[in-house]
Structure 1
Amino acid sequence: MWISLLGVILIPLMFTRTTAERASITHIEICDVEVDADIGGDGIRIATWVQESVLLLIAFLGTFHCSATGAKEIGAGLALTHVSLVIALLVQLGRGSLTSADAILGSMIIDSQCSALSMQLVAKETLASRLQVATVLLCQILGLTVLPILVDGFGSGKFATKDCSCVAVFWWGWLSDCSAFAPREMAIFWTYYAYRCVAFLQCCYHSLSNTIQFHDAEKHGTRLEGITYPTMIVSDLEPPNDGMPNDTDSASEDEEFLEQEAKADGSRYPDYPATVSLMYTVYGLFALVSMAAAEIAMRDYGLRPSSQLFSVGQIIGMVVAGATIVRGLFLLTMMLLAGGAGFTWPLSFEVGLEVAGFGPRSRGRTCSYREQGRARAFPRRGTHRMESYDLAISSGKHRTRTNSSLWWLNQTR
């Protein structure tokens, strides 16, 4: 999350400096060229912008509740759009008709879509679908394989044509297909590509490690045990004195209860947040940056689509994007109207949770157990330091305890 916040501050500054640099590049003529409308047309770009923005919004909303929100449907539509664009580029590459402008602009859009595809893989509804997880990962592998081929061919001048021998754009660094252009900063792009590969491997590891557990938890009601994301511990044990603090309780009783409770490790699928990680902020940031670079290239560097919105490829892309977005927004709206969203406050992500001095009569709320519950802080086993606690929320006979590896703290009143 901190990477995302830093990126929001620094990336606009990086792109702002290109205005002055662009003005200083006068020693070489950079010609205006057309981009195939089925690769970089207005319809393709609009569809990509809308899909990525809605997916990012849904992932953000899922941080605060536990109900499915349509990320799976929108993610599937984005995967179709991504594969279609990759195939279009490969067909032109195979026929030898791919131009430098098509290659570099198509690379930007492919990278944006590929990064955005990872956002759906932090949604529990997508993780519960093993087939979609595998399909999305294969789509990303396809995109990340084609991307360096296109960029390397562009940088080496392989796709240059007689009509335009020099195309230059700014995408993390200055990229051009002619050696006379300066500055050329291909090394900066390859550094970025290396990061993208590392981020994909991390996403791939977490997705494949958790999809079976989430699938079983959704279909069969099993607990989410052995997942790589923090575990919420939910048990049906009766706490000492019904969870109310009592000065006569002994430390041994508390420790015995926590030891028994730990055997019920793993939360149920309905209890787990809809968005399981904040990494969607990183994926979304880099997806939007690549799309912004494509828009800047179209606006400032002489690239323009070969036709208006009515080409076959653009219409198909917009129809697929529109249908999946309508479906996703319909599910989100129905969930909100039904009042099934609830609210969960994500106090601490990926760094653990420490609770100090929790009031004995605070009331809490979880995704599944929305009744007003009684809260009690139990000392950790093996320590009597008053500033370190595991937090326990009890409601009737049900008890929810969050340990130091849990992200979520119930909303307190």
Structure 2
Amino acid sequence: MVDTHKWILGVMLLGFIVLHVGIVNSDVSSEPVVAVYYYVWYGSDGRHWSDSNDTLVLFGDMPVIGFYSSMNTSVIEWQLGLIEDAGIDVLFVSWWGPRSYEDHAAQKLFSIISNGNYSVKAAILVEPYLHTERSDWYNESFWSITLDYIMENYVEKYPNVYFRLNGKPLVLAFNPIGMTYKPNDNRFEIRIVGNDVDNAGYQDWDLWPDYLAPWVTLKDVELRVRRDGYVALTPRFDDRLFCIYSNRTGCDDRLVDPTYVAQAYIKQWEWVIEHKNEVKIIAIYSWNEYHERSMIEPHYDATAEIPGYTPYTIYNITKHYIQLLKKTGETSPPSNTTTSWLAVDVGKILFFIAALSFITYYLFEIRHRKNFKTVVIGTIRSFYVEAKHVLEKLKSITKKK
């Protein structure tokens, strides 16, 4: 009897412990993740500030702090302060390959986040750094070199900063990467980001909601929720300079709210608030992509026509709706809480098995023993004492957290 008694108690206690730990460690926050695409290609020597026909910035558009360098510590800290204050959770950092300018700037960004008092996370967006639209160049060898480099120089070096999806480091890649070859690397969650997602058929997420374009007058909006509950927003898209001075075509067909008069950004955010239970990741294009004029970073604006516009208007709209979202949002637990919720389920199962064993064992006892009542009372008392002891220990652990 003694051995069976101990076995039942042991299983019940194990179930209780696993159940409690699972609940304690579960991220009960139901808020969606808010991300923003972040660009680190700017330099103090004019780099990417209209230094070529491929890096044009419309005259009159300028960051409120002036044309800056992505390598400047003060600039990065200024940006991170605003990003944190707005409630943005993750930066999707545009990255142009090992040992590139953007690589050095991105590593500096990760270092500042890691060493500073910041809660924001970051993940790498791999750009087509071979500078070709030939998708076959982005092959198995390309991916192997790229992922190994990201693992060594970002994930392992800054584990407290790197953003994880489903428990794995997230790596994004911009089309045409992924068109011909997409790796199956169990170290990462890999998502292909791009344009014309519905027709192209190989991307996972929109960079920006290009399916809404052209959008230059007031209209209703219906956003498209992609894999992982991802939805993309943009305050504006306007690359018409590149149709005039470079080799792009079809810019008018891609135009989204160049003057902000159509209230495109507000309408997108209102859709998100209304459909918050469907959304898990909200990605804003962009923090500071000035070439395509999608920036939410505080800036002077060449074409804004909304009454009372200030350099902080679009940023403040972002901040307002994130606060509203996180105040009222109720969605299912984020994917990275799977392990904790599994612990809850395992605990329930173990507890059920033990309870069933308890009932079965003592139904047998009642037929074969006269001291059934004494045994049951003694067992319940023993379980109560042990459970109380375990609970006190778990409470002390929880307080330390």
TM-score by length of 1: 0.23
Structure 1 or 2: more helix by fraction: 1
TM-score by length of 2: 0.23
Larger radius of gyration: 2
